């Protein structure tokens, strides 16, 4: 019998994890299934006779799973039905419930068989002894009997409905605006509803109330309009729990208002800071004034109907997406001020010249890295995905004639991540799906013999479960372990690396880490961005004893990639955070179902469809990070990120390479503002999947842009000088 319950002392339990469907990362525990289906986390529990044993760590491929469970899979042929300990479950977010599943034959007797327990990762988490609620909604947990290869019968299965609800609200707090409330003005109040565990209910549905509507009234959205001077209490009720705040309404003091505009020219995508100046009758400035902002647009052409332009204005910061004449106005009580100005097109489009390709068509390509070697030549190191552990060394000094100079095969299914230290002294290959399930990483000596790959050492202590990504500095290497944590490894002696510290944030699945100025920024899916002091010292952290700094949650909980960037021209420290969503379930263009390619048939393989975008966060103050902008191109999904000299080099999977102007202060969606400088889609008729761009990573180097494409290897392009703007006729 296979069940998600604690095993008896006489049982031996083996816990395996594997993807429910093939995604772009071979060792991820879960990926989105084919179009229109939920992402599943597959957890397999096997029970054998014999002494107790610890769980085996790490993901296993299907080919190795079959070898492990031959007898239990045969037993599955006799299973008639499955029976769960509960027909359905109702959980609160964060609550766990026990659940067991039994396999029964036609007579109702239990059978020792393989049962796979799955559930939508965005909604529930499958545990060793049950299920945990992750997100509010109605979900389905599925139990399926494992059968041997070639079985003609359909595997018996059981669907268990799971409803996840919010926990009870224990406290409600009304948040007044930072501005004052003057007679005749309107300001929006906020509300925070807290659960017993300290978490907050997102966007709680509040019932608002005013203690004295003649002084100030409040609408259903928390907008408070002041009518007369005096004291008033504003309250909100969420799930029967109330919170109140007292506020003072003052007489309206403003005699005149005006708006100040910075000098132009103003272009689409620019953040134009409009200054509001308000004065009373005596000429004194009035501060903390609640203001409503708005704008109107005139395209300057009779063949364009108004309205139609999109722009964004937030506390006086205005950004236009299309050119034209704009009028911005600010209103407070009975006073209104306005200013009109012209916004010109950004005109940053460049041509792209293809320099060359290093074709890899027999395998899928994963990550790559490029650097100048100690011999002065330019080298690139690339990995492969689902390709028996191959990696390649390339001489790319002439991008038009890239040459493989060496290759290396390591014990791995996938070499997911490839990186090189800034000084070019050592490289790192990550291992996923190793035959011994130990995985770990391989350290390469890149300095002693340029043009050849020499293994300095293999490191696996503390790195079981698959190493997905690393980040090397000259002195330290930050290596992910099984999606649970990252180790900090002293690399002063690459023959004998030494682990000195680690970071593991509770209940977070980590995917990427990047270090800047002694702070480690990690992308951790549903936990968003986590920042630790690993040597900066400002928060007391060291490599040996990292210290937590802050956390930032992104919408959707798919935080996959991270890139910190200090913008010298503005003094703003931005962090770019990328989603990864494999599949387009629920979207108008869900794409064709993808699947493994069978070369015995004439059918072509279908590339997978992706979704997601880049979140841009102002992290100048780590204590109060603010999302200020995004880069979102519909119908594609983002992967790895690189920003250099105010240019974003974005790998956008089937959207290709996107080169984006990110100069100046950022606000709104950059893709709508004319900030895209160039796009290149690497279509190769001889690729692993023919003519299907799927850019994994991009990296600028010596005035050129190199990229790895999942289906066709390495590419190099060059951005041409900008051409004069020519409207399309």
pLDDT digits (tens, 9 = 90+) for 539-571: 999 999 999 999 999 988 889 999 999 999 999
pLDDT in tens, 22-48: 222 322 333 322 323 333 333 333 332
Number of H helices, E strands in the chain: 2, 61
Q: What is the mean pLDDT of residues 99-117?
A: 94
Please, where in the chain does CATH 2.130.10.10 lie?
A: 350-594+605-722
Task: Give the least confident one: 265-279, 307-321, 405-419, 472-486.
Answer: 307-321
Q: To which H or E segment does residue 65 belong?
A: helix 62-68
Please, where in the chain does CATH 2.60.40.3450 lie?
A: 11-165
3-state secondary structure 669-722: EHHHCCCEEEEECCCCCCCCCCCCCCEEEEEEECCEEEEEECCCEEEEEEEEEE
CB 266 within 8 A of CB 253: no
DSSP characters for 238-255? ETTEEEEEEEEEE----S
Average pLDDT, the chain: 87
Name the more confident of 347 and 16.
347
CA distance 417 to 432: 10
CA distance 610 to 593: 12
Neighbours of 142 (CB within 10 A): 17
HSE, side-chain direction, 13 A CA sphere, residue 245: 18
Q: What is the pTM of this model?
A: 0.83
pLDDT in tens, 514-533: 999 999 999 999 899 999 99
Strand 512-516 with 519-523, pairing: antiparallel
pLDDT of residue 557: 83
- Which residues fall within 8 angstroms of residue 138, CB to CB, at 6 or more apart? 161, 162, 163, 164
pLDDT of residue 621: 95
Widest Cα–Cα separation across the chain:
94
pLDDT of residue 149: 83
Name the more confident of 362 and 11.
362
When pLDDT is cut at 50, 70 and 90, the band that residue 71 belongs to is: low
- Given a cut of 90, whether residue 66 has pLDDT beyond it is no
First-last CA distance in the chain: 70
CB 124 within 8 A of CB 43: no
Exposure string of 609-638, with b = 16+ CB inside 10 Å and e = fewer, is bbbbbbbbbbbeebeebeebbbbbbeebbb
- Given a cut of 70, whether residue 20 has pLDDT beyond it is no
SS3 for 399? helix
What is the CATH number that goes with domain 11-165? Answer: 2.60.40.3450
pLDDT of residue 291: 95
- Which residues fall within 8 angstroms of residue 43, CB to CB, at 6 or more apart? 4, 15, 16, 17, 116, 117, 118, 126
- Given a cut of 80, whether residue 21 has pLDDT beyond it is no
Token readout for 5 is 């319950």
Token readout for 551 is 């956390």
CB 185 within 8 A of CB 290: yes
pLDDT of residue 239: 95
CB 614 within 8 A of CB 576: yes
pLDDT of residue 347: 93
Tell me what percent of the chain is helix, strand and coil, each rounded to the nearest 5: 5, 50, 50
What is the CATH number that goes with domain 350-594+605-722? Answer: 2.130.10.10
Please, where in the chain does CATH 2.60.40.1080 lie?
A: 169-250
- Given a cut of 50, whether residue 17 has pLDDT beyond it is no
CB 282 within 8 A of CB 317: no
pLDDT in tens, 274-309: 999 999 999 999 999 999 999 999 887 777 766 666
In whole angstroms, what separates CA 515 from the centre of its chain? 17
When pLDDT is cut at 50, 70 and 90, the band that residue 50 belongs to is: very low
- In terms of Cβ atoms closer than 10 Å to its own Cβ (0-12, 13-18, 19+), residue 82 is buried
Whether domain 169-250 has CATH 3.40.50.300: no
CA distance 221 to 189: 8
Q: What is the mean pLDDT of residues 362-374?
A: 96
pLDDT in tens, 629-671: 999 999 999 999 999 999 999 999 999 999 999 999 999 999 9
CA separation, residue 395 to residues 312, 354, 379, 444 (Å): 47, 17, 5, 16
pLDDT in tens, 420-451: 999 999 999 999 998 888 899 999 999 999 99
CA distance 249 to 165: 39
CA distance 142 to 647: 46
- Given a cut of 50, whether residue 62 has pLDDT beyond it is no
Of the candidates 725, 616, 632, 628, the one whose C-alpha atom is nearest the C-alpha of residue 673 is 632
pLDDT of residue 34: 30
- Given a cut of 90, whether residue 499 has pLDDT beyond it is yes
Strands (E), 93-204: 96-98, 101-104, 115-120, 124-126, 130-133, 137-145, 157-165, 169-175, 181-182, 186-188, 190-195
CA distance 622 to 467: 28
- Given a cut of 80, whether residue 602 has pLDDT beyond it is no
CA distance 118 to 287: 57
- Given a cut of 90, whether residue 481 has pLDDT beyond it is yes
- Given a cut of 50, whether residue 15 has pLDDT beyond it is no
Beta bridge partners of 319: 312
CB 615 within 8 A of CB 577: yes
CB 717 within 8 A of CB 659: no
Residue identified by tokens 């099984």 is 482
pLDDT of residue 78: 93
Token readout for 215 is 């002084």
- In terms of Cβ atoms closer than 10 Å to its own Cβ (0-12, 13-18, 19+), residue 394 is buried
């Amino acid at each position: 019998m296979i069940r998600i319950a604690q095993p008896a002392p006489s049982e031996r339990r083996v816990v395996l994890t594997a993807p429910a469907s093939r995604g772009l990362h071979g060792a991820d525990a879960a990926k989105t299934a084919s179009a229109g289906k939920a992402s599943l986390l597959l957890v397999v529990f096997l029970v054998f006779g014999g002494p107790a044993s610890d769980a085996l760590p790490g993901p296993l491929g299907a080919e190795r799973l079959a070898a492990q469970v031959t007898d239990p899979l045969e037993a599955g042929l006799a299973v008639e039905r499955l029976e769960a300990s509960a027909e359905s479950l109702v959980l609160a977010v964060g609550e766990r419930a026990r659940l067991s599943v039994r396999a029964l034959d036609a007579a109702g007797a239990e059978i020792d068989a393989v049962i796979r327990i799955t559930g939508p990762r965005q909604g529930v988490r499958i545990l060793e002894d049950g299920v945990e609620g992750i997100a509010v909604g109605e979900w389905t947990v599925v139990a399926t009997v494992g059968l041997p290869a070639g079985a003609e019968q359909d595997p018996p299965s059981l669907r268990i409905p799971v409803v996840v609800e919010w926990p009870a609200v224990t406290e409600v707090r009304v948040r007044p605006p930072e501005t004052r409330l003057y007679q005749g003005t309107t300001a929006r109040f906020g509300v925070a509803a807290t659960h017993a565990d300290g978490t907050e209910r997102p966007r709680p549905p509040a019932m608002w109330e005013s203690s004295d509507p003649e002084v100030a009234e409040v609408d259903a959205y928390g907008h408070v309009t002041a009518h007369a001077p005096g004291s008033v209490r504003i309250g909100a009720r969420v799930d029967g729990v109330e919170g109140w705040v007292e506020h003072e309404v003052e007489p309206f003091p403003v005699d005149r208002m005006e708006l100040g505009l910075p000098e132009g020219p103003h272009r689409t995508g620019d953040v134009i800071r409009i200054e509001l100046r308000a004065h009373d009758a005596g000429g004194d400035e009035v501060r903390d004034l609640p203001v409503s902002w708005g704008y109107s647009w005139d395209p300057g052409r009779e063949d364009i109907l108004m309205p139609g332009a999109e722009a964004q204005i937030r506390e006086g910061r205005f950004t236009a997406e299309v050119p034209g004449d704009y009028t911005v106005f600010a209103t407070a009580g009975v006073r209104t001020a306005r200013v009109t100005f012209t916004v010109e097109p950004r005109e940053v489009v460049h041509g792209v010249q293809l320099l060359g390709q290093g074709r890899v068509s027999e395998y899928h390509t994963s990550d790559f890295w490029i650097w100048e070697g100690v011999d002065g030549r330019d080298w690139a190191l690339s990995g492969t995905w689902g390709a028996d552990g191959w990696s390649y060394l390339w001489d790319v000094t002439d991008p038009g004639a890239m040459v493989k100079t060496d290759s290396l095969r390591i014990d791995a299914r996938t070499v997911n991540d490839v990186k090189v230290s800034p000084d070019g002294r050592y490289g790192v290959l990550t291992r996923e799906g190793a035959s011994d399930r130990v995985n770990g990483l391989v350290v390469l000596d890149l300095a002693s013999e340029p043009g050849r790959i020499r293994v300095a050492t293999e490191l696996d202590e503390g790195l079981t479960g698959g190493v997905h990504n690393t980040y090397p500095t000259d002195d330290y290497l930050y290596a992910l372990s099984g999606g649970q944590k990252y180790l900090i490894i002293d690399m002063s002696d690459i023959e004998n690396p030494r682990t000195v510290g680690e970071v593991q944030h509770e209940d977070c699945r980590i995917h990427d880490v990047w270090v800047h100025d002694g702070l480690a920024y990690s992308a951790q899916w549903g936990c968003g961005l986590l920042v630790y002091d690993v040597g900066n010292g400002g928060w007391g952290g060291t490599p040996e004893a990292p210290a937590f700094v802050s956390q930032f949650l992104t919408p959707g909980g798919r935080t996959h990639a991270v890139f910190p960037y200090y913008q010298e021209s503005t003094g703003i420290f931005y962090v770019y955070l990328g989603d990864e969503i494999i599949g387009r379930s629920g979207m108008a263009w869900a794409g064709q179902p993808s699947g493994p390619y069978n070369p015995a048939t004439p059918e072509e393989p279908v590339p997978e469809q992706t979704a997601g975008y880049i979140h841009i966060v102002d992290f100048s103050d780590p204590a109060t990070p603010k999302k200020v902008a995004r880069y979102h191109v519909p119908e594609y999904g983002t992967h790895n990120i690189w920003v250099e000299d105010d240019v974003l080099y974005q790998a956008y999977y089937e959207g290709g390479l996107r080169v984006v102007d990110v100069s100046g202060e950022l606000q709104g969606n950059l893709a709508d503002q004319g900030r895209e400088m160039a796009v290149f889609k690497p279509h190769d008729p001889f690729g692993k999947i023919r003519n299907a761009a799927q850019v994994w990573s991009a990296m600028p180097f010596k005035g050129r842009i190199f990229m790895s494409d999942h289906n066709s290897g390495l590419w190099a392009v060059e951005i041409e000088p900008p051409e004069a703007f020519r409207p399309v006729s």
